[in-house]
Structure 1
Amino acid sequence: MRAAARWTRAHLRAHRAAAVLIVLATAGITVSLLLSTALFAYATDPWQRVFTRSAGAHVWIHTRADAPAASLARLDEVRAASGPFRTVRTTASLELGGSKATLELRGAPERPAVAAPQVVAGRWLDAARDAGTGKGISQGIVLDGAVARAMWAKPGDSIALSGFAAPLRVVGVAETAEPGFRAGETPGAAWVLPGTLAAAHAGGDLRGRTIGLRLADPDDTDYVVQRAVTRLGADQITDVSTWRQAKAEAAGDNQLLGRLLVLFGLGALGAAALAVGGAITTRVRGHLRDIAVLKAVGFTPGQVVRMFLALHLGFALLGGTLGALFTEALGPLAPGRIGEALGLWQDLPEHAWLPWVIPAGVVIFIGSATWLAAWRAGRVPPVPVARAAAHPGRRSLGTTRRALGLRIPPALVLGWRAAFHRPLRAAAAVARLAVPLLLITVALGTWATLDRFTAHPENVGLPAALTARSDSLGERELRHLLTAQPGVTAYPGAEVQALVPGQTGTITLRGLGTDAHPYPFTLVEGRAAHGPDEAIAGQGLLDLLDARVGDWVRMTVAGQPHVLHIVGRSIEPADGGRVISTALDTLGDGATQLHPDFYNLVLRHGTDPAAVRDALTDASAGRLEVREIPNPADQLPAVRAVVIGLIAVLVLIGLAELSTTVAAGVRDRGRDLLALRAVGLTPRQIAAVIVTATVFITLAAVLPATALGVSAAEWLINLQGSTSGWGTGLAQRPALSTLALVGAAAVAVAGAVSLLPAVRAVRRKLVDSASGVG
């Protein structure tokens, strides 16, 4: 034990920098994996918690007012039902200003037992306090949390509703496990007493029923929807939503960030394992005499293996522990979504064991990857065998002589020979260094794609920056107001929910632009829709219908069939890509008779959306509601910080690998010092040989890593776009100047890291160099 401890201390003194780099890299990997776990929990568990506590419904079916929705509760697959509730569609706005929102008011005499809204502010409805008398006493309303946040409403505020003679007072805010409110697309849920609902002045087309079905088996969702359509009739069902849609909406953006962290965390873990394994292998080759001495004084092969493993497992254990402690102590203090995710994760049951299991897994993985290299140390014989000098072939010697004869600097010629005269070792060093460089290139591709979303949203399915609508302005007056604004092009639009073939769910059927003035969709396949019945679709819709460009698809809107020819595919960030778009003229014909419900505003490049919004609001005297269309990049501000942190971890791993490569080069050149000086090389030239050899190894890693990294980034980002329903075509390659700068920086760092060890090596005494042979 004393000999092992002395050897360990000597080893640590000789390789301090490499040890620190490995510990820091392991800590960074642990932090990355813990953050990814927390973000996945943040993405799904809040919804799951609400769904479980509220005994949430797996299917929500919205019907016409005269449909027998209550009969759906008697389906064999239904365990319990919430409702049916009588509903009224209405537009709400705060009396003291604020944004408008479309609400689905539900008449509820009491808080339902199934799919029960979870009150997070205020209280639930009370018939004795919230019924109202029509004599100035406000009637009560409970808002869904998503719509309350969109309207900036809180308990105590008064809300004016279209179709109601008097405003309603917000008495509570509740969270549900249903698909959330989305302005212009999905109305927000709100609950009132049945008497309040009955007093609404609303036409039959605004009245309906809503029922939530909790199933015995959640996998029966599509089958139950089919049975509901069969029982009630397709013309009686206006909308269908499922628990899968709600969960996907709640998870979307955070899952992207979580997947990014998992990808880079696992990639960095593999790179760290390769770096540690290479370091052990190199040190075993460089300490054959020391290992032989240990064997001679009585160390068994197993003891030698365990000594090497214990040392590097200690590095991994220290790094994993530091990473876990850092995440637990400082993670919840991080700004934005990461801090919120870690704060929530610490309240979940799995947090009791995952923060220890993940670092333990990192330690075990690194230990497994380094066992083979340590095993080689155990096989070193107790009496070192004299190794024959490695004689390069005649071809190599002839090439070297000819290169020197051409007056090429000796440092370049001998540095090239030193780097690659052992091809297997050189290939291993290049591969280990290429892995972190490849991942850095993938991270740069992610950064470039985010920049594309921010700087050129029109290339990723977001040509319009604003959407405008008004309930009080006439269509002609509204159009004149929009076209009079400089730098603005307005496109009329309307959206309806349509039942898909098989009638297992709903999609968004959108009319946008006209035949004479087509909307500038971002097409990545096929062509734009020109003639009647032509449409373009998002990837999510093509996947849902198992269709492709060129197919005809049939859908049902309010019992009326629509058959459209898909002639192109666009990048579609809305509704998970489950959108089919055509000209408003196409939807204006036939039974549906859609009229413009909103206008998408495409701004001239460089125009400030906020300034246009304020100008339109002032010009309309507040009668025009103008909203900015959300950009997904705005919802991922933490990604850039994550990319920087991951690049820092990968740089640490690369530096650890460079230190190993430099140590091997210094050791090999140390054996050749006598020969190099004998042929006339100065100490400066010998140091240049060592530095040049390291630079050549790095350059050989940079070129393939950059090429493969660009392709991998494009593939991974497009794969994420395809699985999310947006479609391929999102990826943006990093600029060539950026890639060249990264490659040059890697080469420059390699030269700088190897310079000091090279200078130290050539300053050693000749007798020291000679004694190092063995």
Structure 2
Amino acid sequence: MRATLRWAHADLRTHRGEALFIVLATAGIVASLLLATALFGYATNPWQRVFTQSQGAHVWIHTGPSADARELAEVDDVTSVAGPYPTAAATVESRGTRASVELRGIVGRPATGRPLLASGRWLDPAAPDGVVLESSLARALWAEPGDTLTVPGTARTLTVLGVADSAEPRYSPGERSGLVWALPSAVRQTDGRGGQVTGLRLTDPGDTNYAVQRAVTLLGPGAVTDVSHWQQARSEAQGGNRLLGQVLGLFGLGALVAAALAVHGAIGTRIRGHLRDISVLKAIGFTPGQVVRIFLLQHVAFAFLGAVLATVVIQALGSRVPGRLGDAVGVWQGLPGHTAALLAVPVAAVLFIAATTGLAAWRAGQVPPVPGLRAGAPLGGRLSGLARGALGLRLPSALVLGWHKAFSRRPRSLATLARLALPLLLIVVAMSAWSTIDRFHSRPDQLGLAAALTVRADETLTDPDVRALLARNPQVDAVHPGVEVAALVPGQTGTIALRGLGTQKDPYPFSLAEGRAARGPDEAVAGQGLLDLLDVRVGAWVRITVGAEPQILHIVGRSIEPENGGRVISTSLDTLRENHPGLGPALYQLQLSPGADPQRVAAELTEAAHGDISVHAVPNPADGLSPLRGVVVGLIAVLALIGLIELLTAIGGTVREGERDLLALKAIGLTPRQITAITVTATGCTALAAVLVAAALGVPLAHWLIDAQGRSSGIGAGIAQAPSPGLLLLLCTAAVLGAAALAALPAARSARRRLADTLSAVA
């Protein structure tokens, strides 16, 4: 053992640079995995992020104004209470869009259930009519800080001071009122139905139902008007991000595999560089077991040091990184399971390195104690016919030999190529996720969002009057009358949305991913969620129930349906009227001219109708996915770091092996600059081959993954968008030029080594 430790110490002193590289490589990989874990938690669980940062309440209990809600603080397992806050129901309007809201009177910034400002500023006593809107309500109203809200039927106005995120259930038109924070004095001035709301933060979130029962018992069943809890809010919030949430989660596994292969390559390269030392050790009496222990102890110690270094740095400084990456780490540190992940990731990395080191060290133990045998092997491999032909054509010898060097040792070259291609492949998948989000924004008509605005009219306006009013606006290209009703599936085990949009003469432009458009009577198109629910395919006949009347439809196509989890079946308004003669248009879907501003058009239509219509923007799933763009950038950075580690390992191995051929290359008349060009060309060719493989495999893989998530969320396949050829070309250029630049300096140093050093390296 003493001899083993003394040799390990001597080796460490001799190869300080290599040891430092192993430590830094391990630290970089562990840091990458920890950052990836933080990014995945930040991206796939935005509700948890808001809930943690805001110290959200697990239960919100609405009561009448006379209830003594302060008694709720005495409920078991309640750690803190938000409120009680006075509330009032009201209706507000902005840019032609109306929404039912709950005005909540609040003073200061509470510790529990604290709204997180996304823009603007908080309530100010100097602005008694100032309000702060919940973010989903602000998007529905197209409202921003500085805008003015009107209260229909009154002369009262409210000024938007800010927009804030909340962990409470989001605004849903016709189903749930939006949340507006205001000063208590502003709430008391509202004529709407009043009440109060109290938030409870619990010691054990799993006891939510029990806590609600105790609260209802304490206040009395007649005092409680509504209850919302954290499971409901989380379920709704997570449902809105299912499109790419699971896709991003797969990056964790991919990053782990890429990092594992990078570590294995680094260790294998270092042991190959010590074959001469291993032979010497065996010649002086070291057993194979002792050789194995030497390398195992060394690399486990290096891995442990690197893992500890990465963990300490991420825990102490990760949240200070500017931008979304630092925000992700800061939020992750407050999420449940943070401590377990902070320990599990480094431990798993060290255990894996120990396993790979054990395998490589076992191979080192089989090295024969005759160092001269290595020198007798062919150094560069016999030139292929293609390489000899290229030299015959008088192509630059450095380029030909560099290309030959990159692919002459097929097993080792393929292993290096695979390790480098994997992080690049994942980068291509991340770029595809970015392109898919952009497609939702730039081409919504291809993804089931042909209409930009939905109009609902008061009962005082007839259908011809509404159509004429909408058609007079020059920015409106098409008006499609429609109706949406709830329907029961066969067996009455579930509810779906039955829509009648457009007419047979002027059909609605559905985005079809399969089949054809519904043209004839009783023909319909359905979303993926409905097909899965009924376990049918395109071409099937289905029988659904609307009220007490059956409706039999022939599904002739599958449409991309971003709404209602894809549980939507759509036909023409004429088809619905055949079975329901009294059914008239309840809404109008508007297609706008290219470049038209939906907010401006909505305001113009409302003004022209004198407030007799309500205009809403058609929700775009990409609005909730926009923050993921920053996360995708962070993922690409993490994967690029793993690829950089593998690239440095490959460069080190190529330079070390090139030292054996240095005498031969100089003997045939190559200059140091030409020898340097050989190594740089070999590295560049390896990077080029890796990025081509990544592009060839990554694009179809990204299509499959994104479409699979589209199917699971009910939207359906056909939403994936590959990166543009320009982006792929930029990735290829950056990879090749970066690899060449990194290889230039070590290759130049190796090419200028003294002949005596070269002789000792190959001896």
Interval containing the TM-score (normalised by the shorter chain):
0.7 to 0.9
Could you report, residue by residue, the CA deviation over 1:704-763 in whole angstroms, capped at 9, with x for unpaired residues? 211000111111110110111000000111112221221122111111111111111111
Q: Does 1:608 find its partner at 2:584?
A: no
2:558 is paired with a residue whose SS is strand
Q: Does 1:557 find its partner at 2:555?
A: no
Partner of 1:436: 423
2:497 is paired with a residue whose SS is strand
Partner of 1:499: 488
Q: Do the aligned partners of residues 258 and 29 (structure 1) sit closer, same or farther apart at CA in structure 2, a change above 3 Å counting?
A: farther
Of 172, 183, 205, 1:182 maps to 172
Q: Is the 8 A contact 1:22 1:276 kept in 2?
A: yes
1:494 is paired with a residue whose SS is strand
Amino acid at match of 2:427: I
Q: Is the 8 A contact 2:92 2:99 kept in 1?
A: no
Structure 1 gap segments, 5+ residues each: 56-90, 105-118, 123-142, 153-157, 163-174, 191-199, 201-217, 219-242
CA distance in 2, matches of 1:739, 1:650: 16
CA distance in 1, matches of 2:382, 2:7: 47
Partner of 1:322: 313
Residues 287-306 of structure 1 aligned to structure 2 (within 5 Å): 287-293=274-280, 296=284, 300-306=291-297
Could you report, residue by residue, the CA deviation over 1:279-326 in whole angstroms, capped at 9, with x for unpaired residues? 111111112223445564865532332212321343244334433444
Q: Is the 8 A contact 2:34 2:342 kept in 1?
A: no
Could you report, residue by residue, the CA deviation over 1:592-617 in whole angstroms, capped at 9, with x for unpaired residues? 73221111111122222222122222
Partner of 1:13: 17
Q: Is the 8 A contact 1:30 1:324 kept in 2?
A: no
Q: Is the 8 A contact 1:39 1:342 kept in 2?
A: no
Q: Does 1:747 find its partner at 2:736?
A: yes
Partner of 1:761: 750
Q: Do the aligned partners of residues 390 and 31 (structure 1) sit closer, same or farther apart at CA in structure 2, a change above 3 Å counting?
A: same
CA distance in 2, matches of 1:453, 1:397: 50
CA distance in 2, matches of 1:497, 1:177: 28
Partner of 1:93: 91
2:545 is paired with a residue whose SS is strand
CA distance in 1, matches of 2:316, 2:585: 56
Q: CA deviation at 1:261?
A: 3.5
1:509 is paired with a residue whose SS is strand
CA distance in 2, matches of 1:517, 1:677: 79
Amino acid at match of 2:607: D
Q: Does 1:703 find its partner at 2:707?
A: no
CA distance in 2, matches of 1:765, 1:96: 78
Residues 509-524 of structure 1 aligned to structure 2 (within 5 Å): 509-524=498-513
Q: Does 1:481 find its partner at 2:472?
A: no
Q: Do the aligned partners of residues 254 and 370 (structure 1) sit closer, same or farther apart at CA in structure 2, a change above 3 Å counting?
A: farther
CA distance in 2, matches of 1:96, 1:542: 38
Amino acid at match of 1:4: A
Q: CA deviation at 1:146?
A: 7.9
Could you report, residue by residue, the CA deviation over 1:43-82 in whole angstroms, capped at 9, with x for unpaired residues? 5799999998689xxxxxxxxxxxxxxxxxxxxxxxxxxx
CA distance in 2, matches of 1:344, 1:740: 35
Matched-pair identity in %: 49
CA distance in 2, matches of 1:522, 1:97: 29
Q: CA deviation at 1:395?
A: 7.1
Of 27, 30, 38, 2:31 maps to 27
Q: Do the aligned partners of residues 589 and 97 (structure 1) sit closer, same or farther apart at CA in structure 2, a change above 3 Å counting?
A: same
Of 495, 514, 518, 1:525 maps to 514
Partner of 2:222: none
Of 394, 402, 413, 2:400 maps to 413
Q: Do the aligned partners of residues 8 and 477 (structure 1) sit closer, same or farther apart at CA in structure 2, a change above 3 Å counting?
A: farther
Amino acid at match of 2:298: M
Partner of 2:185: none
Count of residue correspondences: 643
Q: Do the aligned partners of residues 583 and 291 (structure 1) sit closer, same or farther apart at CA in structure 2, a change above 3 Å counting?
A: same
CA distance in 2, matches of 1:572, 1:647: 30
Could you report, residue by residue, the CA deviation over 1:640-664 in whole angstroms, capped at 9, with x for unpaired residues? 1111111112222222112122112
CA distance in 1, matches of 2:29, 2:720: 28
Q: CA deviation at 1:769?
A: 0.8
Q: Do the aligned partners of residues 486 and 541 (structure 1) sit closer, same or farther apart at CA in structure 2, a change above 3 Å counting?
A: same
Q: CA deviation at 1:430?
A: 0.8
Q: Is the 8 A contact 2:171 2:178 kept in 1?
A: yes
Partner of 2:79: none
Could you report, residue by residue, the CA deviation over 1:27-49 in whole angstroms, capped at 9, with x for unpaired residues? 12211113324555555799999
Q: CA deviation at 1:9?
A: 4.9
Of 256, 259, 269, 1:269 maps to 256
CA distance in 1, matches of 2:490, 2:739: 60
1:535 is paired with a residue whose SS is strand
Residues 573-584 of structure 1 aligned to structure 2 (within 5 Å): 573-584=562-573
Q: CA deviation at 1:618?
A: 2.5
More divergent stretch after superposition (400-409 vs 27-36): 400-409
Structure 2 gap segments, 5+ residues each: 62-88, 103-111, 116-132, 144-148, 154-164, 180-191, 193-208, 210-229
Q: Is the 8 A contact 2:706 2:719 kept in 1?
A: yes
More divergent stretch after superposition (260-269 vs 91-100): 91-100
Of 452, 455, 460, 1:465 maps to 452
CA distance in 2, matches of 1:769, 1:426: 24
Partner of 1:360: 347
2:383 is paired with a residue whose SS is helix
1:93 is paired with a residue whose SS is strand
Partner of 1:107: none
Q: Do the aligned partners of residues 95 and 668 (structure 1) sit closer, same or farther apart at CA in structure 2, a change above 3 Å counting?
A: closer
Partner of 2:216: none
More divergent stretch after superposition (564-573 vs 346-355): 346-355
Could you report, residue by residue, the CA deviation over 1:474-522 in whole angstroms, capped at 9, with x for unpaired residues? 4332211211111312211211111111211100111111111111110
2:762 is paired with a residue whose SS is coil
CA distance in 2, matches of 1:601, 1:413: 62
Q: Do the aligned partners of residues 564 and 659 (structure 1) sit closer, same or farther apart at CA in structure 2, a change above 3 Å counting?
A: same
Amino acid at match of 1:273: A
Could you report, residue by residue, the CA deviation over 1:230-273 in whole angstroms, capped at 9, with x for unpaired residues? xxxxxxxxxxxxx9998653312345554344222221221111
Residues 229-248 of structure 1 aligned to structure 2 (within 5 Å): 248=235
Residues 351-430 of structure 1 aligned to structure 2 (within 5 Å): 351-380=338-367, 384=371, 386-391=373-378, 396=383, 400-430=387-417
Q: CA deviation at 1:550?
A: 0.6
CA distance in 2, matches of 1:176, 1:751: 49
Q: Is the 8 A contact 2:381 2:408 kept in 1?
A: no
Q: CA deviation at 1:764?
A: 0.6
Q: Is the 8 A contact 2:527 2:560 kept in 1?
A: yes
CA distance in 2, matches of 1:543, 1:9: 65
Q: Does 1:682 find its partner at 2:658?
A: no
